[in-house]
Amino acid sequence: MSHELKFFINGAWVDPATPKTLDVINPATEEAYTRISVGSAADVDRAVAAARAAFPAFTLTSKAERLRLLRRILEVYNKRGEDIARAVSDEMGAPMAWARDAQLWAGRVHLEATIHALEGFEFEKQRGGTRIVYEGIGVAALITPWNWPLNQIVCKVAPAIAAGCTMVLKPSEIAPISGIIFTEVMEEAGVPAGVYNLVSGDGPSVGQVMAGHPGVDMVSFTGSTRAGIIVAKTAADTVKRVAQELGGKSPNIILPDADFETAVRKGVESCFSNTGQSCDAPTRMLVPRGRHDEALAIAKLTAEAQKVGDPKAEGTILGPVVSEIQYNKIQRLIEAGIKEGATLVTGGPGRPEDLNRGYYVRPTVFGNVKNEMTIAREEIFGPVIAIMSYDNEDQAVEIANDTVYGLAAYVQSKDIAHARKIARRLRAGQVNINYPDWDTFAPFGGYKQSGNGREYADWAIHDFLEVKGIIGYGAA
């Protein structure tokens, strides 16, 4: 049975309080391929009431019970893997190989990381005569984005369950179908009624209502900094906790002693992965001034090797960006780069020549980028990289930190001790040295306008917990 027009509230698929639908567009075809229901304040009220009613019993469950539930969710998630991957490909244009090997994989490994973290997590400890107790914060409103749908859903739902919270999820209305399938996973896994609830819809009609709802104790939001500010202001009236993972404009410092060709090539590939739609993408490449032209030549070859096309076709590396709005924004920023005097090395405005429909963007490299240019300041969220020069490493660090964002940063060097010193000077929540593998146990979150709070494994569990001191408890 299809659940696109339903919400999941108190353990059952239900109709919206007021019927209203929204088309879901396949960005590869620019055509609607299904519809979802758009929720309202009445639907949020029902979901929050269900979560509040379920909280007292669920938060008293044992760690062993929550572990059993998470392991069952993982089992069903793996069973539904191909359905999830196909949904991600249809709703956000991800090539099928990427949908399976990155998008689907991300949800799986974060479930595994949360399970591992919970196994060793201590919810109580003694400090003198005081007992320190970590308790679930209550009802959590979870608002997730379209660019890594399973990654962000699991990064919120799994630790919320581990902490003993109940929740209401609003996935992005742009890429909502994978979230609906994930909800079917939760139902089949036997999540108790009211512990997990889903209300689909847009930000103003559902997300903002959740953020301001007096029955919600915490909001966990991932999205743009602009939307995050609205969420935080809305939540302030009820003094609830707000954890946010927002935008980024991550620098990638290639030091003079790095393996230059490899560092530049991997930097471009990393920036363009997921069609450039990652908040931690290394979008600003900083290279020694004397090697700037060499970097442009390597970047040009790398960009032109990225096969752009049909997500279902064999060999496609980059699919379309997710929507017409995103496509138009990226085009505006590419035009700004040209107008402001950056060197267009390859790519540029418009679709690739062999594609006449779909929100496809030409992989674009800009050189001679100055830090005051729009393309060096604004988050583009597409396959566009800005290459900048520095005269010495102090200047490189200064340029890297000269941004309102602070989500991620990157350093490349053959001298690991030197790279570590540079990493400590970068104002970012996560610094990557020499393109390491993804670490799902490392804290993920930002400095400055990239947000607050941390996700992944035990870091995320802590975000969903309150700390209680029972004084006079006595010795252990």
Mean residue pLDDT of the chain comes to 97
Q: Mean pLDDT over residues 238-259, rounded?
A: 97
The string of pLDDT tens digits covering residues 138-193 is: 999 999 999 999 999 999 999 999 999 999 999 999 999 999 999 999 999 999 99
Q: How many residues are present in the chain? A: 476
Numbers of helices and strands, H then E, in the chain: 16, 20
245 given a catalytic annotation: yes
Domain boundaries, the chain: 7-246+450-470, 251-440
Report in angstroms the alpha-carbon separations of 205 from 209, 237, 256, 283: 7, 18, 51, 33
pLDDT the model gives residue 135: 98
Rounded to 5 degrees, φ, ψ at 50 are -65, -45
Q: State the catalytic residue, choosing from 91, 173, 184, 245.
A: 245
Structure tokens at 391: 């005269």
Identity of the amino acid at 101? D
The pLDDT of residue 69 is above 90: yes
pLDDT the model gives residue 475: 80
Whether residue 19 contacts residue 51, with contact meaning beta carbons closer than 8 Å, is answered with no
CATH class of 251-440: alpha beta
Rounded to 5 degrees, φ, ψ at 125 are -155, 155
The pLDDT of residue 1 is above 70: no
271 given a catalytic annotation: no
Q: Mean pLDDT over residues 80-90, rounded?
A: 98
Instruction: Burial-class residue 300 by CB neighbours within 10 Å (0-12, 13-18, 19+).
Output: middle
pLDDT the model gives residue 168: 98
pLDDT the model gives residue 117: 98
Q: State the catalytic residue, choosing from 155, 165, 279, 379.
A: 279
The pTM assigned to this predicted structure is 0.97
The pLDDT of residue 443 is above 70: yes
Identity of the amino acid at 380? I
d(CA 399, CA 410): 13
pLDDT the model gives residue 2: 84
**7-246+450-470: which CATH number, 3.40.50.2300, 3.40.50.850, 3.40.605.10, 3.60.130.10?**
3.40.605.10
Proportion of the chain above pLDDT 70, given as a percent = 100
The string of pLDDT tens digits covering residues 32-56 is: 999 999 999 999 999 999 999 999 9
pLDDT the model gives residue 476: 66
Whether residue 6 contacts residue 14, with contact meaning beta carbons closer than 8 Å, is answered with yes
